Structure 1
Amino acid sequence: MTSPGYDQARVERRRREHERQAVVFGVLIAFLAVCGIFALAVYSGAISSPFNRPFTTVGVAEQETYPAACLPEVKGQPDGALPTAYSDVQVRLLNASTESGLASAHESVLADRGFSIVAKGNVPIKLQESEIRFGRKGIVQAYTLAAQFPEIRLVLDDRVDRKVDLLIGEEFEAPLDVEEVEVASDKPLLNVEGCVPAAEIEPEKRIEPSATDDEVQPAK
């Protein structure tokens, strides 16, 4: 015959087991709920995934973020700086990637549009994204060239002339189709969002072509 004390102890033991099970299942359900909310937020784009990192090419430097220079005020153009005539934009095409032939490929497009390609070559750095580098005197020229691309980085450097360099990076974007380029001789250029007056920017050092790679050649 089972004693009342033994039955009571068994009941208490089962009650404690049920309580532990309830706590364990409660914690698991809460954890799964949090995971589900996080996954939904990542899927909807509300937050970015910590694992969503772009692939990088070995030997390609991670680029710094530079402030983009605002367009200057131009005498006789009160509504804003007008684009420079393509023929007056002197461009050096410099390959900053591990792939060969990119300078010539860009030359065939930009020269056909009338840009003055003054040199082609390589630079001793490798970039992920393409950049347009220019001095304070070449801001309008740089913006005119930048309008040929869906998106491109603008970097002010310490050169003193109006020439601009197009550094072609590993993940370059091809120029827009000519009918998609929003440039007109009577339509003022638009500042890049978040631009900074050029006088407030410390210019980067101009990158010169590498003599150890292909020597810079005058464009044909």
Structure 2
Amino acid sequence: MTNPSPDSSYDEARVARRKHEHERQAVVFGVIIAFLAVCGIFALAMFTGSLVGPFQREFTVVGVSQQEEVPAPCLPEVEGQPDGALPLPYANVKVNALNASTSQGVAKAFETVLVERGFTVLELGDASVKLEASELRFGKKGIVAAYTLAAQFPSSRLVLDDRTGETVDLLVGEEFDKPLDVEDVEIAADEPLTNAENCVPASEITPKERLEFDTDVAEEASGEPEVAEG
């Protein structure tokens, strides 16, 4: 009987060791590939909106209030205007320009634009809250005035509150938009205003409590943002 040579034993051991290493590498690479595939599927689902990440949340500015979704009130019937409420003359729209953002000088900049366009600005001040989106707040008697003003700021929310007068508060929020250029404002004195989308009769809305504001603001704020017509 012939005994295997030492070299033959070494070769067999080397082959076995390489086979074991290859198997181990295959397992490791397989796990890595499977993990990357799962990560890719998870990332694609989040990108397409099919899956919301466990820590996903909107970015917010410290101190800015969350705004409750509220319906806009529909335009009221106006005596003598059977086809619908007409816009008010700008001079008849009485506005309080209020800063509701963390920026300085915003209310003053909007006041300048409103005055240039003929609106009557009663007060300039700081609102008691900071808001993300700009709002027009008004009472039931100020709905037509609010719609007239909203034509300048179509992205502003229309919010009914419990005031009894006709004034409108323009609360300039953190993500404010400039007023439309004059030629882009889509209202005319002889054409009825259009109801806001998904509006609700004012009688069916529970008015919000009117916000307080501070009129002790500087006449000329430093770093005043540019919101005049482009």
Bin for the TM-score computed over the shorter chain: 0.7 to 0.9
Identical-pair percentage: 49
TM-score in terms of structure 2 length: 0.73
Aligned to 1:104, what secondary structure does the other structure show? helix
Partner of 1:76: 80
1:132 and 2:136 correspond: yes
Task: Evaluate the alpha carbon distance shift between residue 163 and residue 83 of structure 1 in structure 2; reply closer, same or farther with a 3 A threshold.
Answer: same
- Paired letter, 2:158: L
Displacement of 1:23: 8.0
Shift of 1:66: 1.8
Partner of 2:197: 193
Letter of the 2:125 counterpart: G
| Contact 2:96/2:123, CA 8 A, preserved across alignment | yes
Give the AA of the match of 1:54: F
Q: Which runs of 5+ in 1 are unaligned?
A: 2-12
Report what 2:41 is aligned to: 34
Q: Where does 1:30-179 land on structure 2 (aligned, <5 Å)?
A: 31-32=38-39, 34-35=41-42, 37-38=44-45, 41-42=48-49, 51=56, 53-56=58-61, 58-179=62-183
What CA distance in whole angstroms lies between the structure 2 residues aligned with 1:140 and 1:47? 43
143-152 vs 72-81, which moves further: 72-81
Paired residues in the alignment total: 205
Question: Separation in 2 of the partners of 1:122 and 1:40?
Answer: 39
TM-fit CA distance, 1:36:
5.6
1:59/1:182 CA distance change after superposition, 3 Å: same
1:9 corresponds in structure 2 to: none
SS of corresponding position for 2:137:
strand
Distance 2:199 2:158 in 1: 10
Offset of 1:53 from its aligned partner? Answer: 2.0
Tell me if structure 1 keeps the 8 A contact 2:124–2:217.
no
Task: Say if 1:17 and 1:51 are closer, same or farther in 2 by CA, change over 3 A.
Answer: same
> Matched residue of 2:213: which SS?
coil
Q: What is the letter of the counterpart of residue 149 of structure 1?
A: F
* Structure 1: distance between partners of 2:126 and 2:153: 20
Contact 2:46 2:52 in 1 (8 A): no
Query: 1:197, CA displacement in angstroms?
Result: 0.9
Post-superposition offset of 1:37: 3.7
Which shifted more, 99-108 or 46-55? 46-55
State TM-score, norm by structure 1.
0.76
In angstroms, what is the RMSD of aligned CA positions?
Answer: 3.3
- Matched residue SS, 1:78: coil
Cα displacement (A) at 1:30: 5.3
